[in-house]
Structure 1
Amino acid sequence: MCICVNCRHVHNCVTYHLIQKQHNYRYNKKIISTYFIPKETLINININYIDKSIYFDWDLMECLSFVEIPGSWIN
């Protein structure tokens, strides 16, 4: 699971938006006015084979800029 969901920076983090893009997440098309660039992130990419197709699952596992605020993704 991506740690971004409970992070204060989830709405303007460039790494989180990269992960959304890799998941083909389409609902959030708005342009971010203030970008946040996190420090020392570690992204885990799992490769899954389903019905002779390859799927990638991207998750942010570590981030030195993580500031926990549970439920900050709800907005």
Structure 2
Amino acid sequence: MCICINCRHINLCKTYEFIEKQHKNSKTKNKQNHFIPINTIIIVSINKQNLNIYLDWDLKECSSFVEQPGKWISLP
């Protein structure tokens, strides 16, 4: 699971915007995302189901993480 959902910076974060684009589920489309976090680690899992291959993108570590549980709920 991506740690971004409980981070104070989720609304402005370039890395979160990138991960959302990879999921083709961008909720940050019209925003000015200008926060660039430091020391991030993104994990990409490769899943195969029948003849389809799915990539799952998750942020596992981020030195800029500031916990604010439920912050993702306020995304427009």
TM-score by length of 1: 0.91
Say which SS state the counterpart of residue 57 (structure 1) adopts. strand
Unaligned runs of 5+ in 1: none
Cα distance in 2 for partners of 1:24, 1:38 equals 21
Match of 1:52 in 2: 51
Q: One-letter code of the match for 1:9?
A: H
SS in 1 for 2:15: helix
* Identical pairs, percent: 53
The DSSP-based 3-state class of the residue aligned with 1:40 is coil
Question: Any residues of structure 2 matched to 1:1-75 within 5 Å, and which?
Answer: 1-32=1-32, 34-75=33-74
**Helix, strand or coil for the counterpart of 2:73?**
coil
Partner Cα distance (1:28, 1:36) in 2:
13
Amino acid at match of 2:37: P
Measured against aligned partners, the alpha-carbon deviations of 1:14-73 in whole angstroms (never above 9, x if no partner) come to 0001000000104442232x5100000000000001121111000000000000011111
TM, length-normalised to structure 2:
0.90
Does the CA contact (< 8 Å) of 2:20 and 2:27 recur in 1? no
Regions of 4+ moved over 3 Å: none
